A and B are shown apart, each in its own frame.
Chain A
Amino acid sequence: MGVQIVMDRSGDTRHEFDTADASAVALAEERFRELTGKGFRAVALGKDGSPGTLLRNFDPEAEQTLFIPQLQGG
């Protein structure tokens, strides 16, 4: 089971998908492309708080993918 966590105004929105289900994976990949196309950064979260990995391409094996909106200087 994979989960895509999208940061938003409500805190976050989670999209779970079954990695064994091809259609669910395709939907997750589509979401990945859509969000990264909008400027979101996708990071495969590490286990137990260890540093994550920036994803340039969709990784169906990533258990938790965090989508961070585009950064701006404060």
Chain B
Amino acid sequence: MEQMEDALRALLSRALSEGEARDLAGITIESSWQRFAPRLCAVFSDGYRTSQLLRPSTCFAFCERHAVWDVEALRERLLCEAQHIYAQMLQEQRVPCEVAGQAWLPAVMRRLRIGLSRWRRQHLPMMEAVGTRRFLEDREAWARGLRLLVEQLSPEQRRQYNRSGYFDVTGGVSGKQYRIRQGSSMNIEQLDKKGRRVCTLCFTPRGGLVTGDVMLAQKVALEAFEREALRIANKFY
């Protein structure tokens, strides 16, 4: 899985490769809007902006790791993280400037980006209004799903999940052991008696549910109607 640190590093690396070192002013997430995917965006003191695609799972993992559940706290945490990485990159001079020998190219790129930034500034308020609302809704649904999952885990499963990011389930009919990992597809392993993986199972509830709901549905299905779940599941050896 892509880590937020990797995404920030790639973003800052691009900014450094396209001009002189600037002061980092902020990190934002522009949420998905219609056909556009969410983007991680770095804003610099001279108005320069650069962005790149961001997977929602990366964002959620970051929120979870740092226990930040509102947009302001997330921005602050991202900026703090980015500033640390940026300072490190400047200090170590690890800027991958592939076009160093072509002095004109960074300048052209910069002008193009400034032009694009101006266009986006004109259109961004509407995009952000829609995007932020969707991001907040997604985040609340995700948190609600996770809360329901944790409520329905046994104390041992909860300990295991908090410690390792997965929990084990015993099949209601066969008594076989299954391990449900964080995720919503290809995240169930059937285990042998020694705890080794026998195969990977993949089944999910329909309807594009959030991760917590999917994991809870998988747990409940394996415990309460294992045969049906196994009949539906795809198996990968």
Q: How many A-B residue pairs have C-beta atoms within 8 angstroms? Tell me.
A: 101
Q: Is the CB of B172 within 8 A of A69?
A: no
Please pick, from A9, A49, A68, the residue contacting B141 in the complex, using a CB distance under 8 A. A9
Judging by beta carbons under 8 Å apart, are A43 and B224 in contact?
Answer: yes
Assess whether B7 is interfacial by the CB under 8 Å rule: no
Q: Does B148 contact A (CB under 8 A)?
A: yes
Report the separation of the CA atoms of residues A39 and B232 in the bound assembly, to the nearest whole angstrom.
14
Contact of B213 among A11, A39, A70 (CB under 8 A): A11
Q: Which of B206, B213, B225 has the most CB of A within 10 A?
A: B213
Evaluate contact between B223 and A12: CB separation under 8 angstroms.
no
**Residues of B close to A7: CB separation below 8 A:** 205, 207, 209, 213, 216-217
Does A8 make an interface contact (CB < 8 A)?
A: yes
Interface residues of B in 189-221 (CB under 8 A from A): 202-210, 212-213, 216-217, 220-221
**Interface membership of chain B positions 142-160, coded 1 if the CB is closer than 8 angstroms to chain A and 0 otherwise:** 1111011000111101100
Q: Does B140 contact A (CB under 8 A)?
A: yes
Beta-carbon contact of A74 and B185 below 8 Å: yes
Interchain CB contact under 8 A, A12 and B224: no
A54 interfacial by beta-carbon distance below 8 Å: yes
- B172 (CB) vs chain A CBs: closest residue: A51
Question: Which residue of B has the minimal Cβ distance to A7?
Answer: B213
Is the CB–CB distance between B186 and A11 below 8 Å? no
Q: Report the bound CA distance from A11 to B220 in whole Å.
A: 16
Report Cα–Cα, A11/B150, bound state, in Å.
Answer: 13
**B204 lies within 8 A of A66 (CB):** no
When A48-B154, A69-B209, A72-B203 are in contact, do A11 and B221 touch as well, CB less than 8 Å? no
* With contact pairs A11-B143, A49-B154, A49-B157 given, residues A71 and B228 touching in the complex (Cβ less than 8 Å): yes
Q: Residue B162 at the A interface, CB < 8 A?
A: no
B residues near A (Cβ < 8 Å) are 137, 140-145, 147-148, 152-155, 157-158, 170, 172, 185-186, 202-210, 212-213, 216-217, 220-221, 223-225, 228-229, 232-234
